[in-house]
Structure 1
Amino acid sequence: MSQRSRRRTIGWTSLIAALALALGMSFIPSSYVIEQPGPVFNTLGTSDHDGSAVPLISISGAETYPTSGALDMLTVSVVGTPDSRPSWAEIVGAWFDSSRAVVPLEAIYPPSVTVDQQNEQNAAQMVDSQQEAIAAALTDLKIPFTSSQKVGVAQLATDSAAAGILEAGDIVESVNGTAVSTVDELKAAITANGDAAPASLVISRSGTEQTVQVTPKKAADGAILLGIGAAPSNTYEFPFTVDIQLDNVGGPSAGMMFALGIIDQLTPGELNGGDKVAGTGTITADGTVGPIGGIRQKLYGAEQSGATVFLAPASNCDEVVGHVPDGLKVFAVQTLSDSLAVLSDLSSGASTDSLPTCDTVQAAS
């Protein structure tokens, strides 16, 4: 065999080996997950609940009015879990797709939290966001209601003393007969109980009270712990019933769109002028709109669903500018009132040129 033939043979062999190695590696699980646009839900429409189509927002005990068009809330789907990670081939494909994002696995699934605990936490955040949305809508409409502060279970540690007893979203009403309304009061009551005997906790779960027994554990530093992440939780009593039915969706980012959907039903006319509007953002009872995750994927979800207007938290604008799909105009909002101002101009046909967009917000910062 000539020297040229040997070189050609070695070259082809090396190329085939490299391709085989690349092909083999493409099927190796990565250490990343993929975020992509998830389902879009019209807060003025219906959702699937136990196999039946039901109103996403239904109000009883108050006068309501017809609506039309859409006030869409957006979601983000995550491809991959700690037990089923995307391959490197999938990661490379997502890297070159502007509608998807490659994210480190631990950013979505912290090692200290199980997938089940993460799902419980997301479900609890969704419940809280719905209550805050109702409160924000009624505050804007000047409809009185009552509120009080409680202590909620935000999450449980993997080795929690309360594992299998408490759940994310539970409200702790009392410990050993003593009412608690702040995180500090809960800590003091658990410390007083010690780790030698169970503490008797009265909790509220999905509006139903029950009594449970939890034996706290002593940490290395001597602290007496339930093993929960406790956080202040506002509870409300509203003058009528607002029922939000949305299965298998978690997190707090739909709050603002829930509030707009509630206001639209409780007021005459069409808040959006019958158009298709999308948006995202957390909400608090005073109407403050907060930042959310996955904003770029939600922009593409809105564009794919046919929306031309998007309401985005102003605090997310640094992630928005330069990543807006063609045909979508993004308005920057800081409060529920800002969102209503955009919708008012859209429904009346007035010019929206003076309203802040993410481009103008970023240019001014």
Structure 2
Amino acid sequence: MNRRIKTLTWGAIPLVLLASLVSIDHIPGTNINLSVPYAAEGPGPTINTLGQVDGEDVVSISSADLDETEGNLNMTTVSVRSGMTLSQVISRWLFTDDTIVPIEQVFPPGQSTEEVEESNRTAFISSESSATIAAMNYLNIPVEVEVAEVLTDSAATGIFEPGDKLLSIDGTAISTPGDAQTIVRSKAPGDEITISYERNDAESQATITLREHPDDSSVALLGISMLSVPSSAIEVDYNLEDIGGPSAGMMFSLAVVDKLSPGALNGGKFVAGTGTIAEDGSVGPIGGIAHKVRAAEDAGAEVFLSPADNCAEAMSAKPQDMTILKVDSLSQAIDQMAAYNEGSDFQTCG
């Protein structure tokens, strides 16, 4: 009996040490990191773009007559967990619906966590701008281009200020940030351009020598970030923090249209969805949609709006009590919801 106890005791020691090894992320007293190079992606928070967060409207519109909204138009997200130990990765793989992916898919090689977060923040801001343009275009409300930020020590430093309205470049009128970017990218570093702009209701002109892009010396850089804003007094603001990437664009745009047009786009129902939005209103695919579908159904959504190119992956989530509508543009998303609410023909992903 004593021999058996000794055998069990000594045999258990390697197992205990192995279990300890796979459950710690670093060796105490050293800089040795034992986390594994994988991340887990799963359902993230879902937020009603027609509602409020921390007492503020998620989509805030001022200087306009707003229509009463009903129900939900929820944006959906994917949660990402990194810096995990081997045991944590195995646990999430065995006991959750998370997807385990190489860490390079989340944090590209050569980029720090801070750089990835900044890239996601920039994409989110660009998405907000595109959402506003798409909504204004749908509602036939004119837009104009506004300087959002002037990069430090750039060609535009000391010339432009945030809030300036850009009117034309080399005599060509611009109505979207894309128009301005197309003209600048057609030039070479060292070329001069003349920009007409408006500040405090006064029009001015500036001739600027373009500089090199820091990542590609052959590409010209002006050195400003731009937003499209309604040319009327209408102001649209998006009040969300700690959310990155462009995938909320379509839902933001739908919220703007819903607030500025009569009736409820969603018919008062709980609608969720995802998809990028372009200035022309086209809806693009995103990543992790299966997790977003699960999050939406768990939250109680009746309808989910999926980019057409994501349909197959969306259906892989096997929704039980939620209809997934296929959309490829802002106008189609609105038409699809109307058809669903009226009981007429609509397109599903199934």
1:116 and 1:251 map into 2 onto residues whose CA distance is 14
1:46 to 49, 52, 68: 52
Q: Provide, for residues 215-263 of structure 1, a one-character-per-residue CA deviation record: whole Å limited to 9, x for no partner.
A: 97999xxx747999x9997744432211221112111101111111111
Counterparts in 2 of 1:324-335, with a 5 A limit?
Answer: 324-335=318-329
The secondary structure found in structure 2 opposite 1:96 is: helix
Q: Please name the residue that 1:25 is paired with.
A: 22
RMSD of aligned residue pairs (Cα, Å): 4.4
Q: Please name the residue that 2:57 is paired with.
A: 55
Counterparts in 2 of 1:96-115, with a 5 A limit?
Answer: 96-97=94-95, 99-115=97-113
Gaps of 5+ in 2: 25-33, 172-178, 193-209
1:246 and 1:320 map into 2 onto residues whose CA distance is 25
* 2:63–2:235 Cα contact (<8 Å) kept: yes
Residue identity opposite 1:115 in structure 2: T
Counterparts in 2 of 1:1-365, with a 5 A limit?
Answer: 13-14=10-11, 17-18=14-15, 20-27=17-24, 28-48=34-54, 53-80=55-82, 85-97=83-95, 99-141=97-139, 143-147=140-144, 181-182=180-181, 185=184, 190=189, 224=217, 235-239=228-232, 240-348=234-342, 350-351=343-344, 354-359=345-350
| CA apart distance, 1:12 | 7.2
Residue identity opposite 2:37 in structure 1: S
Give TM-score scaled by structure 2 length.
0.73
Gaps of 5+ in 1: 194-213, 360-365
Q: Provide, for residues 251-290 of structure 1, a one-character-per-residue CA deviation record: whole Å limited to 9, x for no partner.
A: 1101111111111111222221211110000011221110
Q: Please name the residue that 1:198 is paired with.
A: none
The secondary structure found in structure 1 opposite 2:296 is: helix
Residue identity opposite 1:31 in structure 2: P
* 2:23–2:87 Cα contact (<8 Å) kept: yes
The aligned length equals 314
Residue identity opposite 1:252 in structure 2: P
* 2:294–2:317 Cα contact (<8 Å) kept: no
2:218 and 2:149 map into 1 onto residues whose CA distance is 15
2:16 and 2:225 map into 1 onto residues whose CA distance is 56
Residue identity opposite 2:116 in structure 1: Q
* 1:129–1:254 Cα contact (<8 Å) kept: yes
| CA apart distance, 1:112 | 2.0
Q: Provide, for residues 36-61 of structure 1, a one-character-per-residue CA deviation record: whole Å limited to 9, x for no partner.
A: 2222211110022xxxx111112222
Q: Provide, for residues 274-307 of structure 1, a one-character-per-residue CA deviation record: whole Å limited to 9, x for no partner.
A: 1111000001122111011121221121122111
Cα distance 1:184–1:105, how it changes in 2: closer, same or farther (>3 A)? farther
| CA apart distance, 1:345 | 2.8
Residue identity opposite 2:231 in structure 1: F
2:346 and 2:10 map into 1 onto residues whose CA distance is 63
2:81 and 2:305 map into 1 onto residues whose CA distance is 26
Give TM-score scaled by structure 1 length.
0.71
